[in-house]
Chains A and B, each alone.
Chain A
Amino acid sequence: MSICPVPPEALVTPVSPSIPADFPREWVRAQQSILAFIGSLVSGFHDAEDLLQETASQAFKQMHRYDPSRPFLPWALGIARNVVHEHWRKTGKDRHVFDQEIVSQLAEAFEDLSGNTDRVYTVLSSCLQKLPPRSKHICRLRYEADLLPQQIAEQLATTSEMVRTLLYRVRRQLRACVEHGLRAEA
């Protein structure tokens, strides 16, 4: 399965000669890792997606600074990092978040993971199929409806602690399944 629901080839025809031909394709490849990197610095899908959009905007404006002979992802993560710092500064959270060293290590970790993201996504999709059908319901409430444990608990007439435990177990099962699937592929 492609990482992008629409084939990138159909989308990336440059309309301006000043835009490097590979830039959109590189963005598509890197987008998921950039989002996850932002998601490791800012909690919540809403904020992370907003900052991804801001990163895309900044990347577009600074496109002329990108050197196509160098890897794209570290350059884009650098922009994302600046966008997140600006977000922290605006929201007054800069004293209550990870320090520069951790942020650098996280950027490196996501660079390392990026080579495998497509495979992880494919394996994860099949792992989800193997979950007990009703377990999927909890995943849907968390990941599709974007409900937090307390809200899920209200929907399911149970406690938020129970929901946290269920989510933890589902994540653990999925992670084990993905690791197993990647090993089997290898």
Chain B
Amino acid sequence: MTELTHLINAWLDNELTEPQMRKLSAFLREDRRNVQDFAQQVELHYLLHKTHFIQANLPLAAPVPLGAGSGDADCRPAHRPPARRAFRYGLWAVMASAMVLIVPLSWLMLRGSAREDTHERQWRHIAADERVPTPLEAEIAHVASITGIDHTRYRVGQRLASGERLQIERGEVTLRFAIGARVQLVGPVDLEFVSPSRAVLHRGQLTATVDESGRGFTVATPYADVIDLGTCFGVNVGEAGNADVVAFEGQIEIAYTSDGGGLKGASGAVERLGLSVGEAVRIDGSGGYFRVPVIEGSQHLSWSPGIRHTRSSLITKLSDNIPATDRPIYYSIIPGGFDEDARAYLDRPHEWNSIAGTSFPEELRGRDYIRLRNDLKFALNLKVTLEFAQPATIYVLFDERVPPPAWLRQGFTRTDLRIGVDECYAPGVSEGQWAEGILKPLGRGPGNSVDTAYAIWARHCPEDEPVVLGSMIDAEFPPASNAQADSPLYVTALSMYGVVVAPYVGEPPPLLMERMPQRQSPLDALSRSWSRYLRKSGNEPPSFWRSRN
């Protein structure tokens, strides 16, 4: 990248410093061609902005796939973010009196109205799907279902009013809040109802799925308030009052005090922390927060912060090298969760499916699945370490479009098993992108609607030693030479791998093959040609190349 290109890109991204501004001025003064180059790039920048704006506001081309796919892969869009800024009514009100300019100022004006229309349409659809009985005005919520409890003073349909407390020692209770929140409680739990949009969780576990109308729904805990910004989230309050907070979908905000004293009668400064899908933290009385790196279970099952360590647990520890200063992302372990239509990623609704014409790999069915964020594909130098309670076989499901990185080639064996991913669309994307034809509803069952093929790699660990998984691409991956084949941009734009873990049962399954010939990566080609050259000249290639030759 030339210095001028660097400066122009910094300008486009609103990051130009004053010294850089002076440099850019000097470049433009120096040569008129630089002015033309700058103008061209700015023009393209604003055309891209316009293209995306219009795409985002196209009318719906197809019904939004609410609830398509399996129960664990809800394809419902998260709440759309509000328009970046409101239309400037004051100025336009003046101009509207003339009515000539206002209408032709076309695409700027679409902002706001078009978004509101499509937004409203989506949520009407949702509202029709989940009808909630209208409670009396003083009532906050009603009991929608009770499971796992033989004798209880609560009954289905019972209405709960402000000041009441719901306390159960075991089982599950589902509540519907009148403002549009579905709340699942897992005993032992103690929940106090304060107002239609606020409840206090004194103890136990709560998972809330909140509609647009319920935005702002707040769960108070001893040390923090958890505020919905359009999402599905979980809160678990332990005996000491610590709150483990998980963003399963969308976004939430956590308010806590810097002195750890709690928000009620707060004496310390109130801090605010935003959490996005696939992130989890613990708020305790220390005035700070800590990353919760592992969640066992999902929002559709009961879940726990950390690994449960039951007698059947296979994974005893999962850790990574992501610095504490980074986003507090988590890994989800789904015991027995790998099957047809299982959700593939934390931050995408995509599903695993067998590829048309092939059967689902039975070795993997019903095994423990480690669900990762797809966006981890961007992480370079990632190291995820797994430790096991007993000998285990680890399967890595790796995007076939990406050259396998060294840690995978050297530590795993590629099997002849394959599996596919049925891609939906990321929460929050627009109807316009749907209209592009790339975004689509999830299919159901084997071979249906599969978009991408993944190779299955396996490693047997009879000695139950730790296994380290790495990044999608090698850190030394060569720079782009061909945009479609080996550019890091292209590679990192693909999908993160998945991990399935099974107990090691002795000999490799019969379907496992010897190491298959692999697609030659540019680095392999380079090391081979240099090795040949060195051997011809009577030298031995360096040891770190031998594995490649």
Contact = CB atoms under 8 A, between A and B. Distances in A.
Interface of A: 4-6, 8, 11-12, 14-16, 19, 23-25, 27-28, 31-33, 35-36, 39-40, 43-46, 48-50, 52-54, 56-57, 59-60, 96-99, 101-102, 105-106, 109-110, 112-113, 117, 120-121, 124-125, 128-129, 132-140, 142-146, 148-149, 154-158, 162, 164-171, 173-175, 178
Given A4-B106, A35-B46, A15 B39 contact: no
A2 to B, nearest CB: 10
Given A15-B100, A56-B101, A156 B48 contact: no
Interface stretch (B87-95, B208-216, B361-369, B505-513): B87-95
Contacts of A143: 48-49, 51-53
Interface of B: 1, 5, 9, 11-16, 18, 21, 25, 28-29, 32, 35-36, 38-56, 81, 84-85, 88, 91-92, 94-95, 98-101, 103-108, 110, 276, 326-327, 329, 373, 375-376, 378-380, 426, 429-430, 433, 436, 438, 480, 483-484, 487, 489-490, 492-495
Contact of B107 (A4, A57, A164): A4
Given A158-B375, A171-B41, A105 B51 contact: no
Contacts, number: 217
B108 A53 contact: yes
B84 A146 contact: yes
A32 B43 CA distance: 8
A53 B32 contact: no
A144 B50 contact: no
Contacts of B53: 143-144
Nearest to A108: B35
A39 B42 contact: yes
A156 B480 CA distance: 21
Contacts of A35: 46
A106 B11 CA distance: 15
Chain A interface, >50% SS class: helix
B100 A12 contact: yes
A160 to B, nearest CB: 9
Given A56-B95, A96-B18, A121-B50, A157 B375 contact: yes
Given A57-B95, A167-B13, A173-B483, A28 B378 contact: no
A5 B54 CA distance: 8
A71 B95 CA distance: 23
A48 B13 CA distance: 13
Contacts of A164: 9, 13
Contacts of A105: 28, 32, 35
A113 B28 contact: no
Nearest to B57: A5
B113 to A, nearest CB: 12
A54 to B, nearest CB: 8
7 contacts: A24-B103, A25-B104, A60-B100, A98-B28, A136-B433, A144-B53, A155-B276
Contacts of A170: 489
Given A32-B50, A53-B108, A120 B39 contact: no
A121 B43 CA distance: 10
Residue among A8, A43, A137, A175 with the highest chain B CB neighbour number at 10 A: A43
Nearest to A48: B46
Contact of B47 (A32, A156, A166): A32
A157 B373 contact: yes
Nearest to B101: A60
